[in-house]
Amino acid sequence: MDVLSYLLIPFQQPMLILLTAVGTFAGVYVGAIPGLSATMAVSLLVSFTYGWGTYESLALMLGIFVGTVYGGSRSAILLNIPGAPSAVATGLDGYPMALKGEAGKAMGIATTQSVIGTVLGIIVLAVAAPVVSKFAVNFSSMDYLLLAVMGMMMVGSLNCKSIFRGLLSAAVGLFVGTIGMDSMTAVRRFTFDISYLNSGVSFVVAMIGLFGVSEALIQITSLDIKGVKQKVDKILPSLSTIKKYIPLTLRSSAVGVLVGALPGAGGDIAALLTYDQAKRTVKNPEVPFGEGAVEGLVAPESANNAAIGGAFIPMLTLGIPGDAVTAVLLGALQIHGLQPGPNLMTSSPDLFYVIVSVLLVASVFLVVFGLTGVKLFTKIVEVPKSILMPIIIILSVVGSFALRKSLFDIFWMLGFGVLGYFMKRFDYPVAPCVLGVILCNLLENNYRRGITLKKSIGGLVGSIFTEPVALILFLVIIVMVGTQTNTYKNWKKKREEKRAH
């Protein structure tokens, strides 16, 4: 059994286990700081581990990868500042839980779900990589466009006072997303000849400002309210709780793996899609979505971690990165003399299974490090606001600067902070705005690609009906819209009444 012996390699070398543990531990804390991303951490490690053996450097980098993806949920739950774009959806229900004194419970669920999601992702990677990668390669521009449209549908799922306010906020986000040099024609849009605007506005910067700084500003004006005392007696969710959410976990993880495997979309999109899907399909949550629904944590946290396994699928089967981190890892493999590509699985099968195995080890450590620090972390929410809020602003400045080392990003971030403050004050939701900035590129570029390929809008729309993936995605969107209409709701109500008789 070659496979088994490859899988066991990390267990024969305690150093590999240790490095994975160190990586996971560091990742949880790096990931919790907005602006410090998995991509950044892993690319620093590429130079750091240059002289190491391939397995050793992989163990450290994979540990960091798994840790940071999870770590993003920490700050989202505790402070309403997502540590990474993939944790945006986590904060929507995680933060309300913290406000109710349930931060410990929220982090416990985020941990177990992240671990389950990671493991499910790894299982798909281990058994179905070739099939999924074929699916990913054949995902056309039209399919990406429909995926982006599905993402935009989430505006309807975010708690807004009115749909108009949600749409306006999303429109602002989409507009911000168009700023900068157009990647297709190099035309500069809304840059006013300032070269630093050429690269556009990073959505991480928008995210930090709109969530972090605006929250700090809001809270500074209500300092007299005391921090919420947190319950920390029951952190680990009971087995029956986990069992209860198994169907949602499986569904969300499946979406996570598939979207993660797409070279053009990753964990952030997966988390948003599954949150939306959970909100639409879970009929009677114990607590309404947006006010601390457990389902609102389960879906995105399973999905964004399952996307890790997904991202490795095209990387290991085709040599094509599934996201930014796997792109860095590809570079690292080449530095170590390996040739990633379609032949990698046959030329170095050990590598594939060592990666699978190390990822599994990392998810075990995720349980350990995810749960041990929780009590200490919940103390953050109890810190007096006059101390906590300035710290949040500092972290936001640091995070947005660390991203690209650009002073302009700090200005943008602060500007978004003020914008977010006024939006919140006047009851405009900020989440659709972040959604708009995140999805703008996916939406615009794939639409333009589609038009170039199909020559006309008619041709593009027509292609929905000739390509199976596009047709399925289109039908999902139709169902999503259809079930929200009054006609459908009335019909359903009537049917239920009839049944009751």
Partner 1 sequence: MKKKTMAMVLAGALAVSAMAGCGNSSSSSTTAAAGDKTAETTAETTAADSQGGTAAASEASKTDYPTQNVNGIVQWGEGGGTDSLMRPLATLAQDKLGQSIVVQNMTGGTGSIATQYVYDQNADGYNLLMGAENPSLYDALDILDLTYEDFECVLLIGDETVGVAVGKNSPYTSLKEICDAANSGTDITIATTGTGGLPWEVSALVTSITGASFTQVQYDSDASAKVAVLGGECDFTICKVQSCIEEYKSGDLKMLCMLATEPVEQMADVPLITAEYPEFSDYLPWGPFYGVFVKQGTDASVVETLSAAFVEAFNDPSYQDVLKNYNINPMGYTGQDAKDYLQNWRTNTVEALTKAGAVTP
Count of residues in contact with partner 1, rule CB under 8 A: 82
For partner 1, which is the closer residue by CB, 16 or 30? Answer: 30
**DSSP H or E stretch at residue 307:** helix 295-318
Distance between CA 343 and CA 481 in Å, rounded? 43
For partner 1, which is the closer residue by CB, 147 or 297? Answer: 147
Out of 238, 452, 484, 485, point to the residue binding partner 1 (CB under 8 A).
452
x/- track of binding to partner 1 for residues 181-200 (CB under 8 A): x-xxxx--------xx-xxx
4 touches partner 1 by CB under 8 A: no
- Indicate left, alpha or beta for 285 from its phi (over 0: left) and psi (-120 to 50: alpha): beta
- Residues 146-165 touching partner 1, rule: CB under 8 A, are none
Q: Which residues contact 338 (CB under 8 A, 6 or more apart)?
A: 54, 344, 348, 351
Residue 403 has, within 13 A of its CA and on its CB side, a CA count of 28
290 touches partner 1 by CB under 8 A: no
- Residues 249-268 touching partner 1, rule: CB under 8 A, are 263-264
- Residues 404-443 touching partner 1, rule: CB under 8 A, are 404-407, 410, 414, 441
180 within 8 A of 197, measured Cβ to Cβ = yes
Structural tokens at position 125: 């990677």
- Residues 352-391 touching partner 1, rule: CB under 8 A, are 385-386, 389-390
Q: How many residues does the chain have?
A: 501
Instruction: Identify which range of 104-112, 287-295, 303-311, 449-457 contacts partner 1 by CB under 8 A.
Output: 449-457
Out of 21, 148, 329, 351, point to the residue binding partner 1 (CB under 8 A).
329
Shortest Cβ 153–partner 1 spacing (Å): 23
Shortest Cβ 261–partner 1 spacing (Å): 12
Helix (H, G, I), strand (E, B) or coil at 162: coil
Whose tokens are 């389950």? That residue is 116
Helix (H, G, I), strand (E, B) or coil at 231: coil
342 touches partner 1 by CB under 8 A: yes
Distance between CA 346 and CA 418 in Å, rounded? 54
Distance between CA 94 and CA 289 in Å, rounded? 10
Shortest Cβ 65–partner 1 spacing (Å): 13
Which among 123, 122, 99, 119 has a CA at the least distance from the CA of 111?
A: 119
Out of 340, 420, 429, 436, point to the residue binding partner 1 (CB under 8 A).
340
Shortest Cβ 115–partner 1 spacing (Å): 26
Out of 334, 483, 485, 490, point to the residue binding partner 1 (CB under 8 A).
334
For partner 1, which is the closer residue by CB, 88 or 318? Answer: 318
Distance between CA 358 and CA 118 in Å, rounded? 12
For partner 1, which is the closer residue by CB, 9 or 402? Answer: 402
101 touches partner 1 by CB under 8 A: no
Distance between CA 22 and CA 61 in Å, rounded? 10
**DSSP H or E stretch at residue 188:** strand 188-189
458 touches partner 1 by CB under 8 A: no
- Residues 205-224 touching partner 1, rule: CB under 8 A, are 216, 220-221, 223-224
Distance between CA 150 and CA 390 in Å, rounded? 37
Out of 5, 47, 162, 238, point to the residue binding partner 1 (CB under 8 A).
47
**DSSP H or E stretch at residue 181:** strand 180-181
Structural tokens at position 177: 């997303």
Instruction: Identify which range of 30-38, 110-118, 296-304, 481-489 contacts partner 1 by CB under 8 A.
Output: 30-38
Burial of 280 (0-12, 13-18, 19+ CB in 10 A): middle
320 touches partner 1 by CB under 8 A: yes
Instruction: Identify which range of 65-73, 149-157, 359-367, 393-401 contacts partner 1 by CB under 8 A.
Output: 393-401
8 touches partner 1 by CB under 8 A: no
Helix (H, G, I), strand (E, B) or coil at 36: coil
Instruction: Identify which range of 12-20, 44-52, 84-92, 101-109 contacts partner 1 by CB under 8 A.
Output: 44-52
Q: Which residues contact 59 (CB under 8 A, 6 or more apart)?
A: 10, 16, 17, 19, 20, 23, 358
- Residues 300-319 touching partner 1, rule: CB under 8 A, are 318-319
393 touches partner 1 by CB under 8 A: yes
For residue 257, the tally of other CB atoms under 10 A from its CB is 28
Structural tokens at position 94: 């995680």
Instruction: Identify which range of 67-75, 103-111, 392-400, 482-490 contacts partner 1 by CB under 8 A.
Output: 392-400
140 touches partner 1 by CB under 8 A: yes
Instruction: Identify which range of 105-113, 135-143, 156-164, 372-380 contacts partner 1 by CB under 8 A.
Output: 135-143
For partner 1, which is the closer residue by CB, 363 or 400? Answer: 400
For partner 1, which is the closer residue by CB, 174 or 327? Answer: 327
Distance between CA 117 and CA 130 in Å, rounded? 20
